[in-house]
Structure 1
Amino acid sequence: MPDGARLTTVEDVYEEGSYTFTALDPFDMDEEIIVVPCEDPAETEPAAGEGDRGVAAWINRCTHEAQRFDTGRGVPMRDGEIICPKHGSFFDSCSGDCDNGEAAGTTLPDVEVAVEDGEVYLVDDDYTFDHEGKIDDGDSGPGSTSHIGF
């Protein structure tokens, strides 16, 4: 088993279309990360997988204007590409490269994951798993917004 937090399964990523989790970066700041299907990982990096059903993990934001890909309904994808919901740029789900729209010429920041026996693990030394879902999914927020007593 790889050293790192177990995230999900390759099967669940393919069935759901994506998986989103929150991790802490090297500065202890929350970072949303998406795991998406990546076909034929043997020919592309940084995909991890077994056979031709792999996954790749990326920071959950477009390189153009930091727009979240997963806004709460999963990552919009078509034909192996991640779609930015704001301007429609397409990013290859395996390489993270964009060759069209406002984000053309950029590449998504990758996050290293590993797959063993169909299980997906976070193995990137720069990130520590915090919780499933988006940043605000694990934060119940303050009980009150005011410290004034009457």
Structure 2
Amino acid sequence: MSDPVRVTVETDDDHETVRFHGTDGRVSVDGATFSFDVDDVRPPQTGSDTETDGDGGEVADGTYLTTLDDVPSETTMRFEALTGRRGVEGIVQRQGESVVAWENSCAHEPDVRIDKGMGAFVADGQLICENHGARFDVDDGFCTHGPCQGQSLRPIDVVVRDGDVYVTDDRFDSCRTLGMF
């Protein structure tokens, strides 16, 4: 597995979040244990439809995520990009008639989410990690201030076509928006 999977177990009194880099694991908290085993089998890829963007470059067809009108410009919206049953949480933000997207994970401490479920804090063109104060440029995800200065958020390829947003990142074969919290 190339990307780690985040597992969170919550009870009435406590919670535990752990990142795993393998295909199986176990998380215990407050007497409850969650065990999992996932495979990394991707469905066979068939020929993909492509079209050209405004600059004449090819754009992969992608997987529909949402409408451009539903993507906020003053904060972010969470989504999950999936490979089979395994997902990576992402965030998307509108910038005029285009969008940008990243994995919802701070470069300084990957278990910390930039958007905890109510939209990320954005000020002066930067996403701000509320845990560490790290600031990431909304254009490219580059950290300009904080404990991970010089690092970047991990991008997720997205495109806007005919007023709709599509995930075009070839790591994923499906996606869905996530609600609050």
Same-fold status (TM-score > 0.5): yes
Q: Residues of 1 paired with 2:73 and 2:145: CA distance?
A: 27
Equivalent pair of 2:98/2:159 in contact (CA under 8 Å): no
| Aligned equivalent of 1:59, options 88, 103, 124 | 103
* Count of aligned pairs: 122
Contact 1:37 1:80 in 2 (8 A): no
Equivalent residue in structure 2 for 1:113, among 158, 164, 176: 158
The alpha carbon displacement at 1:129 in A equals 2.4
Higher share of residues assigned helix: 1
Q: TM-score, normalised by structure 1?
A: 0.71
The more displaced of 60-69 and 27-36 is 27-36
SS at the partner of 2:71? helix
Q: CA deviation at 1:36?
A: 1.2
Shift of 1:15: 5.8
The equivalent residue for 1:80 is 125
Distance 2:92 2:123 in 1: 15
Unpaired runs of at least 5, structure 2: 1-50, 52-59
Q: Residues 115-130 of structure 1 correspond to what in structure 2 (within 5 A)? A: 115-130=160-175
Contact 2:127-2:138 within 8 A present in 1 as well = yes
Structure 2 distance, partners of 1:104, 1:130, is 30
The 1:19/1:65 distance shift into structure 2, 3 A limit, reads same
Higher mean Cα deviation, 82-91 or 125-134? 125-134
1:37–1:93 CA contact under 8 A, matched in 2: no
Larger Rg: 2
**Structure 1 residues not aligned, in runs of 5+:** 39-51, 138-150
How far does residue 124 in structure 1 lie from its aligned partner after superposition? 0.8
- RMSD of the alignment, in Å? 2.4
After superposition, the C-alpha distances for 1:3-55 in whole angstroms (9 at most, x for unaligned) are 12211222221367322111225x853210110133xxxxxxxxxxxxx5321
If asked which structure has higher relative contact order (CA below 8 Å, sep 6+), I would say 1
- Give percent identity, aligned residues only: 38
Change over 3 Å in CA distance of 1:17–1:97 after alignment to 2: same
Q: What is the match of residue 177 of structure 2?
A: 132
Q: Distance in 2 between matches of 1:29 and 1:19?
A: 20
> Cα 1:73–1:15, aligned 2, differ >3 Å: closer, same or farther?
same
